[in-house]
Structure 1
């Protein structure tokens, strides 16, 4: 019996010994360097070990039969090997490939400034826009504190890197917006039509942008609307210029927001002295409706409609002539709507796109002669994105544009119009060589039915990340844009103007500090030139050309000073072009050589207040003085505007906001209007083009009505 027990014990011991499998090996990266701390284990068991400092490992397992050995390390793709454990020793030589991590991988930054909830490199969020003093809640005015832009105070639109405002296209949820700025008279600044409260983020490109965006020689501004609001709430606005109300209703899978606003500048302008000679101060109203609907498991649909109307009448003095001058009345009606969707499908496919349409009608009365201008823009878009791996993503898109414009002398019953269809296809690929190196290449091609022209635009970007020391990016591309419809209606066969962009960028975000520096060079060809005036062009041709080159720096800091957020911007732009009525290559009036801004926001918790100030400056605007030889040979004094704002929360659901622009009362001049003929002394008299009022004052009380008594209008931004 004792002998039997000994025999069974020996048999059990031997089977245990011979049933153990010894697993050894080494784990290396793609360069052959051993990976320390990598985990090696039998899948579904506790058997495993971590690699040593040289990447070597050794462990034993009693598992038998078919098994899966897993190899994993932080920052690398997991690798698995199928094997049979039979008691025989096994050795593995494993090479792990680097995994692409969204939060740590390099991103394309050349020419691009993004602000959204999913981007770590945020530049300006909507809350930044509404709290920037001097911007007065205008999206465009806030963007003018960013690098690459120029402040043109008597216009109000976006001028980017030596380009005219018409060279910037604006998109909402990927769909183009026609006539994104309110209609106004010459030398009376306008505003963006849309409230920053609509948007969750933006992509503002100063050049070298994606093949997804076209018909813009200088810049693309893509605004993305909010997905789902946080709660049911009503927002009441009482302002020195008017008032409005917004109601938001939120369900489990859908949401509805509706708003209405009314503005009348007459009471304000009766209190604040105006340099403009108003017959009727601007009056406007707007309404909008926004619908959000979750679709299936991973889809989303948005519908948005905006309509507005405005009326103004102004007398504008004519140099060398007595009296009030020319009378300009503008009655504007504008509507914009879009329907957009996005859908994530199986096998790493995703789709997005939609439809958009805008209609702008200006009933202009020039010295009591009625003129009607109608501009229509339609846009349809469908994009498919396929992620083939964590390294490669491919985007394909098709677009159709409708561009229609008509103008009519009502009394004479004379009318001319233009109707153009543009068909577009674009393709773009992102390839991550590693977490440190990404390449983006794309092609955009299109065809215009009225110009009878086909074009092809190649674009490419490359970015390299230097560990935690920031990253470098380069970008190059070609861009086309058809001339303004007001020129094309006079001469239908005008072709595309062309620009080429070359950009070098350095970008770093660290510890709530952002530094962005960029150098650029841009060339222009086939720009439209003509004789006469901008209002009455004749002899239109496309003999214009030019260039813009320079550099800009942006620094933002939320860390150095407690409860303080500030940013500093400087841009140098050297631009010359033969364009419009210019006969030679000259520095255009809308491209000051030096531009700068400083924005500071400081929160004082004990006072429940945020104090803000901003200073914008440029080196002056060129203008043409017919009393001197040459062209665009004169320059105004430097432009400067120091603004202040105060936001106070008397209650959590109530915001009192007060702002004042140009608090120092500087008399900024943007240029001069000269008489068409010399006076008896042989000199051309002139009138300065300046600000309508030395300062702009704004006061607003914003009240949120909700079950959540701590909710206010900033919560959704």
Structure 2
């Protein structure tokens, strides 16, 4: 009888257990803009079953249940979500979190993002109201970050931690972007590829970035275009141009269309060189996505741009020198310059998600640029020393030089870059594995005919009693057809323990170029640690960064005995190599009841196999050989936060030293002989920048945006003598300020129904170069009657007012 009772008891105990079912619940947690929310807590109410979301916002729970369960998702800075789930063997639930700022007796509860990589994330919306002479480009916002240097408001190019303008990679939706190659001056530049109206997310790293971000030595800029969730659009116009975009979303289809027009004629009118400027820059972009099935989607990114630049110089009057020896150049011109840069770009991405943790992509892209640069400009100049008359007015004293020069160029370039690649990611446990494999073909042709004639006091330079000799000349007829094989593999591992959050990213990049048969392997590693219950985050990154030559680096020159210079390609050129050591961290704190973040990074970058170069305006001319060694070292600091409640502002400080030693030749034993260390062309020893937002407390419809840059001058060498840097340009100092008035916003809207479709309408008044400081961009060298050279500064733009009007739908 006891045995029967025992069996009955066991059966009764097992019935509830047998009724329970094993369940797998998974999905993604995103914000309202469909961006992944990392480290959100996901758990079942009343149980110990919980997990945290990955970097892609993915979560997975496995548990036993016999009835409906309640899933709760929480994250600091977001409204918690509670959802009941019926029991089934497997279920997918994607959760969207909305941002939350709760006010409890004047106390705000907010969250901050933990930065576990060297990438800084910026809010693209801040570009909309930024006072920017280049037309509201994302690069103008990047230039206010520590370690980033820009000393030309007419250009979107920037230098990072002593590197050249060509050492910065730019990606849009994971696709590398190229720019025209023949542009020499900032006023010739048109629109940046990046359309700020279409941007959703901006990530920037000044060094120590992961293997998937390409083969440049200095920095990586990753842009993500947005996918509209409903109809949206905007129109803006100013004295510098106009832009418009429209976006829409259907059940399976989303699209963005953007068009921009820019003219610098109004801005260039403030340059010291007077003449007729006729720049015209046009750009059209489209980004479209289509979801074929629940696991397959297709996207297309396209761009067409045309930059026309015409210049008819008339005259120039430039005062320079010192207080002890003031000088003045008076010049008159004849001739013109005509440039045309047409670029086309298209990329198709096929994405497949067989399971939530696995993403596979197949990408095909093509880029083409067709460029022509032609000019014939003759100038006649008089160089005076200055003195003061009896009234204190400055007047010419003695003539130091009289001369004539004639510049001629017929340069043409056509380049096509086609790429096919496969990349993907797989997430399991605390790991995120990412890989890529691709092949790229490049076809480039370049024809050049340039010469420069100089005459001083009736004698051609350099003087020869037997025949007239040109000051310099260059001819080229080059073709480069090559193939690159590209690959990378990396693993991101994150986990928490009692000490805090740890994040490791390690991997390598491997490339091969058929032109020089060079195989490159670049191992890279980064570590981040966020201590538990602490406001600190610490980071360290290191790795080998190769920069394989593209085209300009391969081009070398040789001068014959008759003085004629020709260009040819160097088949022995090697990739430049840099080793990054980056140590930094963040400190989050509250001040005045508002959140702030202080970031500091120190770095050291030794480099070898360096291809030295010289800079003139924004044009980079390479020596065409691996003939230098270099290094860059410094510290970057940034204070970011709400100096004014509800607005983001920051101030950046960079201290740096970047030097190189050039190969002069070899000794009798064949050992290389180098110069002593000299400053590199982009050695900007200090830089202070600020981006500040404010509003009128009693009238919040008025917002003020301020951008300040104060940076060290760049080294300058005389022509044909790059081995010395005898002086620097004056410091670059610029203040741009803009005031924006909200004609329509969420709190101020006309009652008429016709206005309800408008989200915002703004009118802006910008003052460029508020202090009217004429910064020096480059130098034009003239000769006096004794054949002494004088550097005549080429100044940038002066003070200018600009009016903008924008409407968001």
TM-score category (smaller protein): 0.7 to 0.9
Match of 2:302 in 1: 305
1:322 and 1:644 map into 2 onto residues whose CA distance is: 34
After superposition, the Cα gap between the structure-2 partners of 1:80 and 1:189, relative to the gap in structure 1 and judged at 3 Å, is closer
Displacement of 1:433? 4.5
In the alignment, does 2:522 pair up with 1:469? Answer: no
In the alignment, does 2:257 pair up with 1:258? Answer: yes
In the alignment, does 2:448 pair up with 1:396? Answer: no
1:219 and 1:473 map into 2 onto residues whose CA distance is: 17
1:178 and 1:648 map into 2 onto residues whose CA distance is: 37
In the alignment, does 2:774 pair up with 1:667? Answer: yes
1:107 and 1:540 map into 2 onto residues whose CA distance is: 43
SS at match of 1:220: strand
SS at match of 1:486: coil
Residue pair 1:658, 1:698 contacting (<8 A) in 2 also:
yes
SS at match of 2:678: coil
CA deviations on 1:91-143 (whole Å, 9 max, x unpaired) are xxxxxxxxxxxx999966453213xxxxxxxxx11102222334641111110
Residue pair 1:611, 1:645 contacting (<8 A) in 2 also:
yes
Alignment partner for residue 111 of structure 1, among 109, 112, 118? 118
1:192 and 1:12 map into 2 onto residues whose CA distance is: 85
Residue pair 1:418, 1:488 contacting (<8 A) in 2 also:
no
Unpaired stretches in structure 1, ≥5 consecutive residues:
1-9, 22-40, 46-69, 83-102, 115-123, 705-710, 712-717
SS at match of 2:552: helix
Provide the aligned length of Structure 1 versus Structure 2: 619
Displacement of 1:645? 0.9
Q: Which is further off, 537-546 or 284-293?
A: 537-546
In the alignment, does 2:313 pair up with 1:330? Answer: no
1:669 and 1:400 map into 2 onto residues whose CA distance is: 43
Displacement of 1:348? 2.1
Match of 1:137 in 2: 136
After superposition, the Cα gap between the structure-2 partners of 1:461 and 1:598, relative to the gap in structure 1 and judged at 3 Å, is same
Displacement of 1:557? 0.9
2:644 and 2:18 map into 1 onto residues whose CA distance is: 51
Match of 1:198 in 2: 198
Displacement of 1:321? 9.8
After superposition, the Cα gap between the structure-2 partners of 1:190 and 1:333, relative to the gap in structure 1 and judged at 3 Å, is closer
Q: Which is further off, 635-644 or 257-266?
A: 257-266
Q: CA RMSD in A?
A: 4.1
Displacement of 1:166? 0.2
Alignment partner for residue 549 of structure 1, among 610, 630, 633? 633
Q: Which is further off, 442-451 or 678-687?
A: 678-687
Displacement of 1:570? 0.8
2:375 and 2:692 map into 1 onto residues whose CA distance is: 43
Displacement of 1:439? 1.6
1:498 and 1:627 map into 2 onto residues whose CA distance is: 26
Counting only pairs closer than 5 Å after superposition, residues 348-427 of structure 1 correspond to structure 2 as 348-367=357-376, 369-387=409-427, 389-409=428-448, 415-427=477-489
Displacement of 1:331? 1.3
Match of 1:685 in 2: 790
Match of 1:457 in 2: 522
Residue pair 2:198, 2:258 contacting (<8 A) in 1 also:
no
Match of 1:29 in 2: none
Residue pair 1:110, 1:505 contacting (<8 A) in 2 also:
no
Displacement of 1:165? 0.7
Residue pair 1:527, 1:578 contacting (<8 A) in 2 also:
no
Match of 1:601 in 2: 693
SS at match of 2:230: coil
SS at match of 1:483: coil
SS at match of 2:789: coil
Displacement of 1:220? 1.2
After superposition, the Cα gap between the structure-2 partners of 1:247 and 1:471, relative to the gap in structure 1 and judged at 3 Å, is closer
Counting only pairs closer than 5 Å after superposition, residues 81-100 of structure 1 correspond to structure 2 as none
Q: Which is further off, 369-378 or 601-610?
A: 601-610
Counting only pairs closer than 5 Å after superposition, residues 518-529 of structure 1 correspond to structure 2 as 518-529=601-612
After superposition, the Cα gap between the structure-2 partners of 1:261 and 1:112, relative to the gap in structure 1 and judged at 3 Å, is closer
1:539 and 1:180 map into 2 onto residues whose CA distance is: 20
Displacement of 1:370? 2.9
Counting only pairs closer than 5 Å after superposition, residues 12-31 of structure 1 correspond to structure 2 as none
SS at match of 2:294: coil
Q: Which is further off, 440-449 or 663-672?
A: 663-672
Displacement of 1:432? 2.6
SS at match of 1:141: helix
In the alignment, does 2:286 pair up with 1:289? Answer: yes
2:720 and 2:552 map into 1 onto residues whose CA distance is: 30
2:156 and 2:372 map into 1 onto residues whose CA distance is: 21
1:198 and 1:570 map into 2 onto residues whose CA distance is: 30
Residue pair 2:570, 2:624 contacting (<8 A) in 1 also:
no
Displacement of 1:567? 0.7
After superposition, the Cα gap between the structure-2 partners of 1:617 and 1:307, relative to the gap in structure 1 and judged at 3 Å, is same
2:627 and 2:18 map into 1 onto residues whose CA distance is: 71
After superposition, the Cα gap between the structure-2 partners of 1:632 and 1:536, relative to the gap in structure 1 and judged at 3 Å, is closer
Displacement of 1:301? 2.6
2:680 and 2:449 map into 1 onto residues whose CA distance is: 34
SS at match of 1:665: coil
In the alignment, does 2:349 pair up with 1:340? Answer: yes
In the alignment, does 2:698 pair up with 1:644? Answer: no
Match of 1:499 in 2: 578
Match of 1:52 in 2: none
Match of 2:235 in 1: 236
Match of 2:598 in 1: 515
After superposition, the Cα gap between the structure-2 partners of 1:247 and 1:465, relative to the gap in structure 1 and judged at 3 Å, is closer
Match of 2:321 in 1: none
CA deviations on 1:72-98 (whole Å, 9 max, x unpaired) are 26669989799xxxxxxxxxxxxxxxx
SS at match of 2:212: coil
**Structure with a larger share of its residues in strand:** 2
Pick 1 or 2: higher relative contact order, CA cutoff 8 A, min separation 6. Answer: 1
Q: Which is further off, 478-487 or 610-619?
A: 478-487
2:805 and 2:508 map into 1 onto residues whose CA distance is: 49
SS at match of 1:505: strand
2:584 and 2:621 map into 1 onto residues whose CA distance is: 39
Unpaired stretches in structure 2, ≥5 consecutive residues:
21-45, 53-59, 66-96, 98-110, 319-327, 377-407, 451-473, 556-567, 665-673, 746-757
